[in-house]
Chain A
Amino acid sequence: DAKTTQPPSMDCAEGRAANLPCNHSTISGNEYVYWYRQIHSQGPQYIIHGLKNNETNEMASLIITEDRKSSTLILPHATLRDTAVYYCIVRVHPSSNTGKLIFGQGTTLQVKP
């Protein structure tokens, strides 16, 4: 699975959009981009995933560049409850391996009042 690079930390004002970048320059054509987050002391939570098209759900939007070497997770109106570590994960689908999710260090997002 391709490696990802994320900034270690970011701040965001409550009510503003939080834009979390992820670099995955070695991504292969059959690899998807997944985003999970982990709120303090809780289990990771799935947010969104995509292959090459932009995706949106009730939690967030995912913008993938045309060359697929980077992506941005957008939380449109961040709240204090969005303070968490956000993980960008790249992996193959359909998965014929262990189903393992490789969690890197992620980005710690601090939403401030």
Chain B
Amino acid sequence: NAGVTQTPKFQVLKTGQSMTLQCAQDMNHEYMSWYRQDPGMGLRLIHYSVGAGITDQGEVPNGYNVSRSTTEDFPLRLLSAAPSQTSVYFCASSYGLGTSESDTQYFGPGTRLTVL
């Protein structure tokens, strides 16, 4: 299993540009989520999905859109990039929410985004 994969690893955008960060998992996990991590800080939840076709907002959703058309993929779209969105973005997945074991989350390697 490849686990959780993210592309690209690095990206530089200009203010106002849009782009999509890709996330895929091959573990048949129901739950997927996106976090951002700013320098010296913990991770903050952006959006999450409990299954294909179901998404919801986390604590910092503004400026981002998500969709979940398949179990495997959970892309994150930046609509109009701003310097405040410069961060490291992590995708995570788990079997689901229901037991302490199923809730163990697996993280991807991250995408380092710089918005100029």
Residue of A nearest to B112 (CB): A41
Binds A, one of B11-19, B62-70, B71-79, B101-109: B101-109
Set of chain B residues within 8 Å of A99, measured between Cβ atoms: 31, 33, 48, 50, 94, 97, 103, 105
Q: Is the CB of B42 within 8 A of A95?
A: no
Q: Is the CB of A103 within 8 A of B103?
A: no
User: Is B43 in the interface zone, CB < 8 Å from A?
Assistant: yes
Residue of B nearest to A104 (CB): B42
* Interface 0/1 of A101-113, CB less than 8 Å to B: 1111110000000
The 27 listed contacts between A and B (C-beta, < 8 Å) are A32-B100, A43-B92, A43-B107, A44-B92, A44-B107, A93-B99, A93-B103, A94-B97, A94-B100, A94-B103, A95-B97, A95-B98, A95-B103, A96-B97, A98-B56, A98-B58, A99-B94, A99-B105, A100-B33, A100-B48, A100-B58, A100-B59, A101-B105, A102-B42, A103-B42, A104-B42, A105-B41
Chain B residues packing against A (C-beta within 8 Å): 4, 31, 33, 41-43, 45, 48, 50, 56, 58-59, 90, 92, 94, 97-100, 103-110
